[in-house]
Amino acid sequence: MVFSWVSKGLRTGVLTTRYPAVHEQLSEGFRGKPVLDVNRCLSEQGCTACVQVCLPAALELKQGVQGRGAVHKPVEGAMQLTLDYARCIMCGLCVAACPAGALQMTTDYELAARQREDLQIVNVFEASTEDGGARFISPPREGEG
Ligand code: SF4
Ligand code: SF4
């Protein structure tokens, strides 16, 4: 195996791929990171299906807060669903478990970030008094927290 790799490199002059200048062709069924459609999510109605099946605890549901770190405050009546790409193993179990089709797998595998926190997607929902549903408040805005 190593010999064929070296042999190919000597023959072609290419020892590594050209990524990121040239992206590799992904195999069929490749799983990248999951993404959440906040408009479909039922977390405010008590759904925890994705959180329960996620083995590395990449999904967390708790009372909603606004802001990050030391600068955050609870939002009364709000729920917060966090998707942590630093923990996610891209297994797809949450997508299969979601009763609302709110989670989808993508082919995006580029997760480099400057800070650990940048890999956490925080979605805050609060109950709507008008229709009994949920209103999406926000992920943290740029520069917040
Ligand atoms: S893809 Fe797997 S590891 Fe990632 S959030 Fe979904 S269940 Fe968790
Ligand atoms: S399983 Fe789907 S609907 Fe339920 S909390 Fe997770 S993303 Fe939202």
- The HSE-up count of residue 23 (CA atoms within 13 Å, CB side) is 7
To test the pocket of ligand 1, the residue of 90, 95, 98 to mutate (highest count of ligand atoms within 8 Å of its CB) is 90
Q: What is the pLDDT of residue 89?
A: 97
21 in any annotated domain:
no
Nearest alpha carbon to residue 46 among 132, 121, 115, 116: 132
121 in any annotated domain:
yes
8 in any annotated domain:
no
CATH number at residue 95: 3.30.70.3270
pLDDT in tens, the chain (145 residues): 678 878 888 888 777 788 889 988 899 999 999 999 988 998 878 899 999 999 999 999 988 776 666 667 777 777 889 999 999 999 999 999 999 999 999 999 999 999 999 999 988 887 655 555 555 666 543 444 4
Q: 58 near 93, Cβ under 8 Å?
A: no
117 in any annotated domain:
yes
Q: What is the pLDDT of residue 87?
A: 97
Give the torsion sign (CA, 65, 85, 114, 142). Answer: negative
143 in any annotated domain:
no
Rounded CA-CA distance 60/28 in Å is 30
67 in any annotated domain:
yes
Cα of 113 from ligand 2 centre, angstroms = 25
Whose Cα sits closest to atom 4 in ligand 2? 47
- Domain residues for the domain of 84 are 26-136
E strands, the chain, in order: 34-36, 59-68, 71-84, 103-105, 120-127, 134-138
CA dihedral 59, 53, 97, 46 (to 10 degrees): -60
Total domains in the chain come to 1
